[in-house]
């Protein structure tokens, strides 16, 4: 290995202590270069199968090679005991749940306590606002959303959790000359994750790479959803117009990505097969 060769060369002119220090440093560099970022599945992608058979669907997802999952809004109706059973099953499969998707009610004071309890049981790090609701339209509405996120984030910090926001296309479409997503980014605490949905960002005419680069450290997870002008979101990962290699490079060098999540709204294939095909395509593109 290159670092052993380098160290042996230096050993000829250095002490044993210097040699060991050099070897350790080179080892750390090699380790950092091979560190991988987990890839998971937003379970909305297999929503019908999940509703019919949650344990079996989680088994299938783990067998494909997914390393984590993200539960969406129906999880919020679970009891703590149900959440414990799900966590036990996740642990048996050696897959993680780093975040959940939630409606606005789960981030408001009256609903946040339950969200915190369930997410702590699941082992999550982020309680993500998946959609603020169709009534949000004015800049004043979006400022209210930012305030809710900040208050929720402040409350959940003591529990080791942080809030997150997941965009759709509306957040990248200007309202009175200003994009709501820019408002949310500027008026929320830096510890709040900006979870980038790639496909909806592109559909709205925005540049996902530019967005990542302009918000360093805040794009801690991405929904890897592709899009094309003719087929919309029905294309599989890698079959649309998203510049995935550039997106991955930006996410890993600037964005601060901690985990990836494949999301599929539907395709010509059954849900489980779609999820499997997307994961194979991800590894082919990302490596």
d(CA 78, CA 80): 6
- SS3 string of 74-115? HHHHCCHHHHHHHHHHHHHHCCEEEEEEECHHHCCHHHHHHH
CATH code, 38-286: 3.20.20.150
pLDDT of the residue at 35? 62
Residue 16 has pLDDT above 60, yes or no: no
Write out pLDDT tens, residues 70-80: 999 999 999 99
Model pTM greater than 0.75? yes
Is the model more confident about 136 or about 5?
136
Percent of the chain with pLDDT over 90: 87
**CA pair distance 103, 166, nearest whole angstrom:** 11
The predicted pLDDT at position 69 comes to 98
> Exposed, middle or buried, 61 (CB in 10 Å: 0-12/13-18/19+)?
buried
pLDDT of residue 193 exceeding 90: yes
Domain boundaries, the chain: 1-35, 38-286
């Amino acid at each position: 290995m290159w670092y052993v060769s380098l160290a042996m060369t230096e050993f000829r002119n250095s002490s044993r202590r210097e040699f060991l220090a050099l070897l350790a440093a080179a080892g750390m560099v090699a380790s950092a270069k091979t560190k991988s970022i987990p890839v998971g599945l937003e379970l909305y992608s297999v929503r019908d199968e999940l509703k019919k058979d949650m344990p079996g669907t989680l088994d299938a997802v783990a067998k494909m090679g997914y390393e984590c999952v993200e539960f969406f809004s129906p999880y919020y109706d679970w009891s703590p005991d149900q959440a414990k059973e799900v966590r036990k099953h996740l642990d048996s499969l050696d897959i993680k749940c780093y975040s959940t998707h939630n409606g606005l009610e789960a981030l408001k004071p009256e609903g946040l306590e339950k969200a915190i309890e369930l997410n702590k049981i699941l082992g999550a790090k982020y309680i993500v606002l998946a959609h603020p609701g169709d009534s949000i339209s004015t800049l004043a509405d979006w400022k209210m959303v930012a305030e809710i996120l900040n208050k929720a984030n402040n409350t959940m910090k003591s529990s080791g959790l942080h809030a997150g926001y997941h965009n759709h296309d509306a957040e990248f479409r200007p309202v009175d000359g200003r994009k709501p997503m820019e408002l949310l980014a500027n008026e929320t605490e830096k510890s709040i994750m900006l979870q980038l949905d790639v496909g909806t960002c592109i559909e709205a005419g925005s540049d996902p790479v530019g967005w990542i680069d302009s918000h360093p450290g805040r794009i801690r997870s991405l929904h890897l959803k592709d899009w094309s002008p003719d087929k919309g979101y029905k294309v599989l990962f890698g079959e649309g117009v998203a510049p995935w290699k550039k997106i991955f490079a930006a996410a890993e060098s600037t964005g601060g990505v901690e985990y990836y999540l494949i999301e599929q709204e539907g395709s010509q294939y059954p849900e489980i097969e779609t999820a499997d095909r997307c994961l194979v395509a991800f590894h082919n593109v990302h490596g």
